[in-house]
A = this chain, B = another copy of it.
Amino acid sequence: MIIVLKPEATQAEVDHIMEKIRERGLSPHLSTGQERRVIGVIGDERTIQNVPLAIFPGVESVTPILAPYKLVSREFRKDNTIVTVGDGVAIGGRLIPVMAGPCAVETKMQVTSVAQAVKKSGARVLRGGAFKPRTSPYAFQGLAEEGLQFLAEAKKATGLPIITEVVDSRDIDLVAQYADVLQIGARNMQNFRLLTDVGKQRKPVLLKRGMSATIKEFLLSAEYIMAGGNHQVIFCERGIRTFEQLARNTLDLSAVPLIQKLSHLPVVVDPSHATGRWDLVAPMARAAIAAGADGLLVEVHGNPEEALCDGEESLTPPKFAEMMDSLRKIAQAVGREI
């Protein structure tokens, strides 16, 4: 940690800061430059990160040297973590699994027929929501357990493992009975109790980036899960909120290589929620794979006009098949496969 002092800082103020640092078992080193004096702190600065040094009299600025996360970092683990889903879909390796399915589970028929269609086109995992977080209380909120049962039927019919969202700690056991991956949605990225609780169970967790979460905060949320003992975490970039209104969010693809540099965990991309428009899904899916994404999450619906949720961004099965063909070529161009 580097503490820059104000030019007018008094000796008493400097002593007070140095003492506080020593109190925490760290060593302060004062050095005097041409225009500023600087205190460098030697030792594990995490023990002092919660001390509000910035408000100590005489302090101009404080800059931490170490990242605030540990378990999720590349420093902690050099090699890529491979998260295995269901009977053997590996996320984080050469394969780029596509997880596809409807926004919301609506009927048994709907989800099974979509599952069959996306499997035929090459999807490796079935997605579908039984618990739906909706902006309006008057919108369809999902079928809850019945939806999970429909997903299970679709899994039986196709062999595809299931990813589905959990929105409340009280549902974790229930959802984990049916799901192969638990999804934490963007709105819950900083629901720390929920993070802690999914960290205590052992199903893999796909963590979506919050709408306005920095990458650093995103990593810290995964740290909550890993700190609980669950090391099977997948990051999902799904668009951030900006001033631009033509797409629902702004897909931040630079997050993919950035997170891959900072962390050993895999990163997938959701071009459906990122854009909110079906006609942007395929180009953004292609871009995601070209940028190095380790997987995709795509919404597919048999009849988007009748979808109870997010019809605007859903691909029909034929459009999905067409997109998958183009994705295979991009994957090959970057030395991977779908």
Contacts and interface: CB of A to CB of B under 8 A. Distances in A.
Interface in A189-203: 190-193, 196
Nearest to A221: B135
A190 B243 contact: no
A36 interface: yes
Given A2-B38, A191-B187, A250-B250, A52 B311 contact: yes
Contacts of A326: 333-334
B304 A55 contact: yes
A324 to B, nearest CB: 13
A330 to B, nearest CB: 5
Interface string A239-256: 011111111001111111
Sorting the interface of chain A by its residue count into under 10, 10 to 19, 20 to 34 or 35 or more gives: 35 or more
A211 interface: yes
Contacts of A292: 283
A153 interface: no
**Best-surrounded residue of A54, A187, A247, A254 (most CB of chain B within 10 A):** A254
A61 B35 CA distance: 21
The number of times this chain is found in the oligomer is 4
A94 interface: no
Interface stretch (A41-49, A84-92, A107-115, A174-182): A41-49
Contact of A215 (B4, B246, B280): B246
**Best-surrounded residue of A49, A141, A305 (most CB of chain B within 10 A):** A305
**Best-surrounded residue of A38, A61, A309 (most CB of chain B within 10 A):** A38
Nearest to A240: B242
A227 B137 contact: yes
A133 B2 contact: no
Contact of A4 (B65, B258, B309): B65
A279 B261 contact: yes
Interface of A: 2, 4, 7, 20, 29, 31, 33-36, 38, 40-44, 46, 49-52, 54-56, 61, 63, 65-66, 68-69, 75, 133-141, 167-170, 187-188, 190-193, 196, 211-212, 214-217, 220, 223-224, 227, 240-247, 250-258, 261, 274-275, 278-280, 283-284, 286-292, 304-305, 307-312, 326, 329-330, 332-334
22 contacts: A31-B40, A33-B41, A38-B40, A49-B138, A50-B140, A52-B312, A55-B311, A55-B312, A61-B65, A135-B220, A136-B220, A137-B192, A168-B169, A187-B192, A214-B244, A216-B246, A240-B243, A246-B254, A283-B291, A283-B292, A286-B290, A287-B288
